[in-house]
Amino acid sequence: MSREPREAKPGSLTEAGVKATTGVLVATIAAFSPVAGLAAGVAKEYADAPILRLMESVRRRREERAVQALEAGSEEAQQPLDRLVHTIETSPELLALMSETVQAAMETPLAGKIIALGRCLGRGVRDETRVDAERLRVRGLAGIEEPEVKLLEVFARENYVAPEGAFEQRWPGWRRPEILTELPGFVDVLDASIARLIREGIVKDDGIVRVFDADEGAPETWILTDFGRDCLSLLRAASTRGL
């Protein structure tokens, strides 16, 4: 998955769109970005110029990501950006969805994830009956960064080798040794990464429902949930846009 979207080209947002999004972005960044707040409020005598430049760079990148997510939402909702923001401002539910979307977008360097988040926002704007579902998707995507994407790509592939002692000859899913064969660098962090995905409802242990003859019981066998496949599909689709 590609990293860090390109900076928006001058003129890519209309003047009206920029003005319309300014209030939303400032409010969101002020609420969620301690770095931005520090950069804006720290006294110059307490920070060296290079540190201030670094904090300003972080703030600028966060704002660019937020704008990209809103642009993707505008495209998905099939509304001009100024109209999108106006629609969001009239609905507490959409404001909550926008806040979670922009916050997650500001935190990630993954270009495809920013677009996927924006599409969730756009779908909620287009059909408010979907707002709750889109907030859950945004929360799921928020928990996925490059390490988790690599793990999901492994889980998305078929693996039908049953462990020794299993009553069945074949079953889907991935066990720890097989995962580490694919991702040897995860040896010390695999449990933490899987726990993160379980918390978001993205993967589950399919081994607990399998018939197993050995005394020690069925080993953990990880598969994507339907929600996990949905999240991965959103990321893949966004990553093919040629960002």
pLDDT interval class at 241 (50, 70, 90): low
Q: Is 3 helix (H, G, I), strand (E, B) or coil?
A: strand
Give me the pLDDT at residue 63, please: 87
Strand bridging mode 203-205 / 222-224? antiparallel
Q: For residue 122, give Cα distances in angstroms to 34, 156, 238.
A: 27, 26, 14
What's the rounded Cα separation, in Å, for the pair 194 and 66?
28
pLDDT at 144 over 70: yes
The pLDDT value recorded for residue 161 is: 60
Specify the pLDDT at position 202: 95
Beta bridge partners of 203: 224
Which has more pLDDT, 15 or 186?
186
Average per-residue pLDDT in the chain? 79
What local confidence, expressed as pLDDT, does residue 213 receive?
Answer: 47
26-35, 94-103, 219-228: the lowest-pLDDT one:
26-35
CA distance 214 to 223: 22
Instruction: Give the burial string for 97-129 (b: 16+ CB within 10 Å, else e).
Output: bbbbbbbbbbbbebbbbbbbbbbbbbbbbbeee
Q: Which residue has the higher pLDDT, 132 or 20?
A: 132
Segment 169-189 mean pLDDT: 86
End-to-end, the C-alpha distance of the chain in Å comes to 10
240, pLDDT greater than 70: yes
CA 21 to chain centre: 21
Report the SS3 class of residue 182.
helix
Question: Is 106:100 a contact under the CB 8 Å cutoff?
Answer: no
Per cent of the chain over pLDDT 70 is 68
User: Hey, is 133 helix, strand or coil?
Assistant: helix
pLDDT at 51: 74
Q: What is the pTM of this model?
A: 0.76
Higher pLDDT, residue 182 or 217:
182
12-21, 114-123, 125-134: which has the minimum mean pLDDT?
Answer: 12-21
Distance CA 131, CA 126 (A): 9
49-73 pLDDT tens trace: 777 777 778 888 888 999 999 999 9
Residues 210-224, mean pLDDT to the nearest whole number: 64
Q: How confident is the model at residue 3 (pLDDT cuts 50, 70, 90)?
A: low
Confidence of residue 221 (pLDDT cuts 50, 70, 90): confident
Instruction: Using alpha carbons, select from 68, 71, 89 the residue that is nearest to residue 24.
Output: 89
All residues at 6 or more sequence positions from 13 whose CB lies less than 8 Å from its CB, including other chains? 21, 67, 71, 81
Which of 36-45, 80-89, 109-118, 149-158 has the lowest average pLDDT? Answer: 36-45
